[in-house]
A and B are shown apart, each in its own frame.
Chain A
Amino acid sequence: QKEVEQDPGPLSVPEGAIVSLNCTYSNSAFQYFMWYRQYSRKGPELLMYTYSSGNKEDGRFTAQVDKSSKYISLFIRDSQPSDSATYLCAILMIYNQGGKLIFGQGTELSVKP
């Protein structure tokens, strides 16, 4: 079983729709959860991070963590064509000198005007 599972999509929605992107993870010891966004032909960039159960909002984006179910979600409200990208969930594993990320497979999102 992969440590982090993510539906690869692709996902296509009309402009203005609410988008839900999801990941599950296997190790209950994981504590830090991140979402990266990757535009075509670019490297991933950090979108949001959270380390506790519950919701965290940043503008149109909401990251949700349910540690009891080992489930993390990213919601995008009022989606825009500029949100079209691949979204990667990631779990941060801590070691003495820093952190190592474990990524999901990424979900390709297309928002149609």
Chain B
Amino acid sequence: DVKVTQSSRYLVKRTGEKVFLECVQDMDHENMFWYRQDPGLGLRLIYFSYDVKMKEKGDIPEGYSVSREKKERFSLILESASTNQTSMYLCASSTGRAVVSTDTQYFGPGTRLTVL
């Protein structure tokens, strides 16, 4: 069974703090993704990575950065947290090398971040 874990389920931070969200997958997947999920907006892609030390901007990268130093770990960094970054953050991974039709993304349980 694929397992994607996220470091925290709930996090409360103050405006201006630097925030690290960690994601680890145990299936040797090449691709990893960070999304945020907001009511009425669905899941929006922040950043993704298709290999170690590689990263690509998603649809809403502003205010975020990422780090992928090891294949199994993908970190999302909020350099200076703001209240509009209060959201549910979801990490996902996928093989990226298999037949396209089975390029399933497996999601972690999510981190609910509140920025005060």
Contact = CB atoms under 8 A, between A and B. Distances in A.
Interface of A: 6, 8, 32, 41-46, 49, 51, 88, 92, 94, 97-106
B50 A43 contact: no
A101 B39 CA distance: 18
Interface residues of B, number: 33
Contact of A98 (B44, B50, B106, B108): B50
B103 A92 contact: yes
Interface string B43-63: 111001011000000100000
A94 B100 contact: yes
Instruction: Enumerate the 7 nearest inter-chain pairs by beta-carbon distance, A residue then B residue, closest first.
Output: A98-B96, A43-B107, A97-B50, A105-B42, A99-B103, A103-B43, A98-B31
B4 A98 contact: no
A106 B44 CA distance: 12
Contacts, number: 71
B47 to A, nearest CB: 11
Contact of B42 (A6, A32, A42, A99): A6
B104 interface: yes
B92 A43 contact: yes
Contacts of B100: 32, 92, 94, 99
Contacts of B103: 32, 92, 98-99
B14 interface: no
B84 interface: no
A45 B92 CA distance: 10
Contacts of A97: 30-31, 50-51, 96
Interface in B82-102: 90, 92, 94-97, 100-102
Q: Which of A88, A92, A97 has the most CB of B within 10 A?
A: A97
Nearest to A42: B109
A103 B42 contact: yes
A51 B101 CA distance: 7
B41 interface: yes
Contacts of A88: 42-43
B107 A45 contact: yes
A32 B104 CA distance: 11
